[in-house]
Each structure stands twice: as structure tokens, then as C-alpha cells.
Amino acid sequence: MSGDLPSSCDLLVIGSGAGGLASAVTAAVLGLDVVVIEKARHFGGTTAWSGGWMWLPRNPLARAAGIDEDEATIRTYLRHELGEGYDEAFVTMLLEQGPRMVEFFRRESAVDFIDGNLMPDFHGNTPGAGTGGRSLCAKPFDGRELGARLHDLRPPLAEIAPFGMNIASGADLQHFLHATRRLPSFLRVLRRLARHFVDRASHGRGLHLVNGNALVARLLKSADDLGIALFKDTAAAELLRDGERIGGAVVEREGQRRTIQATRGVVLATGGFPHDLARKSALFPHAPTGREHWSAAPCSNTGDGLRLGEAAGGHVRTDLRHAGAWAPVSLVPKPGGEPGRFPHLVERAKPGALMVRRDGKRFCNEADSYHDVMQALLAATPAGEPAEAWLLCDHAFLRRYGLGRVRPRPFPIRPWLGNGYLKRGTTIAELASACGIDAAGLAGTLDTYNAAAAAGRDPEFHRGETPYNRIQGAADNQPNPCVAPLGPGPFYAVRIVPGSLGTFAGLKTDAQARVLDDHDAPIPGLYAVGNDMSSMMAGRYPAGGITLGPAMTFGYVAAHHAGGIPLANNRS
């Protein structure tokens, strides 16, 4: 549903990622009249570019598979991981209402899930760490079911989607990595590519939707089925008060300002501040001007929700361990414009990749989470130096796994050498010279690493020794799926700069997702979810999906509160 902007509704949702759309769909199922506005030309926000994973322990799919964890074990993990940032009210809300949210969406909407029962938490040595059963992802979706709405859905991130085709993690990705080595994988990939190109020819984009793109598509389908009014290219300019209560917003559309009254309140869900230079400068120590940080989130996420919340009396938390969800990023040259940002989420853990600083020395376990790797780089960078590193590999690795935007065989290498994105050296000394790395330091690092790697060991950084490391590696590389020597040459490298997948610092709320004022009192009628809500993980990153899992859950919670409908609190 779209058309002319209405003058009033029950609930106004500003932003259309997972948190915003979860709020909207839940509210509509509960009987509220809902309007969603999105300032970008596509719906979906960062969610549509994401892997789509949600960290939701004790979810129904895990329990159906016989994984019925003791809640105390999950709390133990979070207490150790979050430290002083552990908040009992938020943790209880997530553990109680997360599974109920999943059941609700499966029962009442077009949203469905696949399990992540093999996905471990990031830190396997922390007490209470899970080895599976705490994650979900959106079930793949046929874009035809969206009808004309398909073209309102944000396309996949071009840097990580070959020919505009998202590849799901797990079995799907493994088939692509083995396409030139195993006949069944080759045939599977051939069928996927054939279908994708037919879909592009007939519909302008791929129709087999996976990952975060599938999650947004399912939420959009649900919104349309429920008659929710969805407006893109529409920005919120200011919030309206009805006495002490937030009662709507002034919005801008096609150069005109309009007022939308919202009797049950407003939900802020604009995706945080990954492209707000001023706030990055204030909260990212490694980015004194804000320009030294390269987020892979959509450029439309410029902190609108945070500014709206502050103007209404809320405040942004500045006491988190980290203000952003860090990730190593390489800058992909683009003719006549800003470079693309490639988030290095996968290939670092494969056997035979190394990361070094300009002194030629390693600084991290390359198979650890993206947040941990970037955290290690920031810690290893001396004051006054730019936080940069090089991710390097040999020729066999490059052709099997790819390196950043350079895809594996049979995709060509030459264009990336030509535009400077990929550096090459016949020897390690030549590669060091091409990258500006200390040659002696790099040679020493490689000698030390290779000597142990020949036996599948990494005594310096213990790569491949946790379940998360191992599942990210290559199962057919034994005895350690993450460790193999580098060489012979030629050798290749791409430059790594500080980046993120989104932001953690957001508006302070209570566990009902109500925005709090400076005295920690709820501002009536104002909610924040997703990255506009300060992360319940307090700037830590204990597992994949700790953004989208809470975003969906607290969107569900906010809608119940706005509708005046109590949440069920008995345990399933």
C-alpha cells in the first residue's frame, strides 16, 4: 500500500530495516493503523545488505531439533562477555520474547526462518559459549511474491554480490567455492547462475532472495498483506509533541513538508550513524575527522533518528566499550565516484591468508570475528599512525577463495591489478615493495608462520582453535581448517582500512524500547529500535546476529507497548 501521505495513523515508524519493519508488522497484526516512512529510494536499510543472521537463543527451530539449552548457560556467556555492560532487564527481555517473536512472525506473517544450529558463538573459550542452536536466518524467498514491490527492495551490496546475486552462507557458499573443483558444485552453481541471469533479463534483478535481502522481502510482503502504508523517498524532519507525549512527525516528501499525527507514538529505526561525520568524529577515536572510517552500511544512514531523539529530550549513550560494529574493509575503486567498501567477513579464516601491518608483523588471529580483527588492528596501531593493514595470500589461495573484491577462478585478476586494488609480487620482497611493507619484517613473519603452519599450528595467535574459527575455515584442510603455509609465489595483497557494519551507540532506552530522557524517565510515545537503540550488548560483539536478533525482538516489544497489549511472560 502507498499513495498519498496520510495525515494521521496510530503508529509512525521512521526507517525500514529489520527493527522498523518488525515494529510495523507486529503493530499491524495487533490491530494498529501503521505508516512506515523511509528516506532512501529503497526499503531495507542495512538489513538488506546483511547476512541476515539473528542471535536468538532457545528459538523454536533449535528446540525442535533437540537443542534445549539451559537459560543459565546463556546468561553465563553474556555475563562474561558483557561484563559491567550486562543489563538483566534487556537480557531477560531478549531471552523471553525473542523465541515468542519468532513464533509470532511464523504464525502471523510471511516471515519464516532457517536454523543456524551449527553456528557457534564468536568466543569459544568464554564460559557458556554456544556451539550452535542460538542463531536463525531468514528462509530464502521468491521475489516474484513481492510483485511490483520487488523494485522497492534495496538490491544486494554490489561489492559482495557477483552479478547482483547474493550467496547464502553455509552450503550455498561452499558450492561456489568448490565450483571449479567438484562436479556437483559446478552443476549447482551453473543452475544458480542460469536462473539468476534469466531473472535479471525478465525482472531486472535476481529473484532467489537470501540472507538479509530475504528477511526484508518477507517483512515487506507481510506489510503489504496487512495494508501498512509504506513511503520511500520520505524523510522525517522533526517530531511533534502532544503535551509531554510524542504524537507524530513533520516529514519531507518531493520537496513538500507534511504533518503525520501518530496517536500511539513514533518508532525511530533509521539505522544509526555510520555516515554521520560529526558523530563518528566524536565517538570513534581512530577517526578524528570522521573521514578515517569507512562503513559498509548504506550512505543514507546518517544519524537522523539519533538527532530526532535528542531533540525530543533523549540522549545517546557514549559509555559503550565500542561505538561501532567494527569490520575490516578494503576500498574498491570506482570510476568517477567514492570507492566501494568491501567488508572482509569470510576469506580471512581460510588456510593461507595472513594480515600484517606496515612493519610486516601479524597482529591478530585472522580467523577471529570481523569485530575482533579490527579491534586488534586499532589496538596495534601506534598513536598518530593511520590504522591500516594488508591482507595477503599466494596464487593458489587467490584462485580458490578470492581476496576481497577479487573473486576466485574463473574470474579475472588483471582488472584489479590494473586499478591498483590488488597488489602482486613474484616474491615476498616484491610484494612488500608494492605495498610499502617492511620487507625484512614480512619475510621474518612468513618464515615463522610457515614453519608452524606446515604442521597445522599457529602458536602465535592460535588460529583454528575455537569452533567459530574452524567453521569459518576449510573443512578439507587438515589438521587445521584455518592454517596452511603460504607459497610458492606469486603473492597478492589488498589494503585494509577501518570499517564497520553499523553502529552500537544509540539512544538510551529501557527494555520496552522506550527512549529515556536525561533522568532515565521514558519519553511518552517515543521508541527506538535497531541501531537507533543503544545496543543491549554495550559495545561488545559476542556472536553473529547480535544486531538483528535484538532489532527484531525489540521491534516486536515496542509494538506491543505502543498498542497497549501486554507481552506474554510465561516461558514456553
Find out whether the peptide bond into 410 is cis, omega within 30 degrees of 0: yes
Tell me the whole-structure pTM to 2 decimals: 0.94
Question: Distance between CA 363 and CA 357 in Å, rounded?
Answer: 7
Residues written for the chain: 572
pLDDT value for 572: 41
CA neighbor of 198 nearest in space, from 140, 144, 152: 144
Distances in whole angstroms, Cα of residue 421 to Cα of each of 191, 341, 379, 434:
31, 12, 25, 12
Distances in whole angstroms, Cα of residue 259 to Cα of each of 1, 220, 245, 262:
19, 24, 16, 10
pLDDT value for 229: 97
Report whether 95 contacts 550 (CB < 8 A). no
pLDDT value for 204: 79
Question: Distance between CA 501 and CA 49 in Å, rounded?
Answer: 10
pLDDT value for 173: 66
Distances in whole angstroms, Cα of residue 34 to Cα of each of 261, 338, 503, 559:
11, 37, 27, 10
CA neighbor of 246 nearest in space, from 265, 269, 267: 265
**Set of cell numbers at residue 386:** 593511520
Please list the alpha-helical segments (H only) found in 402-547. 414-418, 428-435, 439-453, 467-472
Backbone angles phi, psi at 315, to 5 degrees: -145, 150
pLDDT value for 175: 62
pLDDT in tens, 380-438: 999 989 999 999 999 999 999 999 999 998 889 999 999 999 999 999 999 999 999 99
CA neighbor of 339 nearest in space, from 413, 398, 419: 419
pLDDT value for 208: 87
pLDDT value for 193: 73
Q: Coil, strand or helix: which one is 105?
A: helix
Q: Coil, strand or helix: which one is 330?
A: strand
DSSP state of 462: -
pLDDT value for 571: 47
**Set of cell numbers at residue 295:** 562503513
Contacts of 356 (CB under 8 A, 6+ apart): 362, 363, 389, 390, 392, 437, 441, 442, 445
Neighbouring CB atoms inside 10 A of 171's CB total 9
Q: Give burial (CB, 10 Å; 0-12/13-18/19+) of 297.
A: buried
Distances in whole angstroms, Cα of residue 298 to Cα of each of 59, 205, 210, 392, 437:
30, 19, 18, 27, 32
Secondary structure E strands in 285-422: 294-295, 324-332, 340-343, 354-356, 389-394
Question: Distance between CA 168 and CA 68 in Å, rounded?
Answer: 26
What's the CA angle centered on 14, arms 274 and 260, to 5 degrees? Answer: 145
Contacts of 68 (CB under 8 A, 6+ apart): 58, 62
**Low pLDDT (below 70) residues in the chain:** 1-3, 161, 163, 165, 168-170, 172-179, 185, 189, 196, 570-572
